[in-house]
Amino acid sequence: MDALIVVDMQMGLHDGTPKHDLPDVIERINLLSHRVRTLGGAVIWIRHCGKAGDGFERGTSGWEFLPELVRCDQDIVVEKTLNDPYVGTALGGTLNRLQPRRVLVTGWATDFCVDATVRSTVSHDHHVIAVSDAHTLSDRPHLPATTVIAHHNWIWSELITNRSVRVVSTNELL
């Protein structure tokens, strides 16, 4: 069975500049989560809990998951306060208990929390699939979002690890 991790797909991501391909990324995450559940896998929602006054402050509208995402009662929610969702959370123990064959990683933001999740999942000795078209971010001051996404997809496919890291599109997974 697979585990799908969905990183920080919360209302607060609407703050600032638009996120690249967001409606399609949401659709792909919904397709993947449905497929993973259908095959008996687990969907894990990572929720960023920001500091007082920021766009992801606990209990505010920015802290809520995007309403377009299809979530189910059996899904798991892990709350984090750092880029890395393993630090100070139950994520590592949850994955150890589930023992997934592969961990698929999706979400926002490619260059911060998604990247930290991919790398830490590898470091926690899991086979990782970085879903190439199911993560997003806004343009950066020095690079367009499409370049950041392409760069990270390449980097993830080249990580040195004892486990496998593959970069695969949603269509290939479905």
Q: Average per-residue pLDDT in the chain?
A: 97
The domains of the chain are located at 2-173
Dig out the tokens for 40 from the structure: 């008996």
Residue 61: its pLDDT value, please? 97
**What is the pLDDT averaged over residues 87-111?**
98
Rg of the chain over all Cα atoms, to the nearest angstrom: 15
Phi-psi region of 21 (alpha: psi -120 to 50; beta: other; left: phi over 0): left
DSSP state of 72: -
Amino acid in the structure at residue 81: T
Other C-beta atoms lying within 10 Å of the C-beta of residue 87: 13
Whether 94 contacts 76, CB under 8 Å: yes
Share of the chain above pLDDT 90, in %: 99
Residues 2-173, CATH architecture: 3-Layer(aba) Sandwich (3.40)
- Write down the H helix ranges in the chain: 22-38, 91-98, 115-123, 145-157, 170-173
Whether 87 contacts 78, CB under 8 Å: no
Whether 121 contacts 162, CB under 8 Å: no
CA separation for the pair 81, 103 (Å, rounded)? 21
Q: What's the pLDDT tens digit per position in 114-156?
A: 999 999 999 999 999 999 999 999 999 999 999 999 999 999 9
Whether 5 contacts 103, CB under 8 Å: yes
- Residue keyed to tokens 């920021």: 54
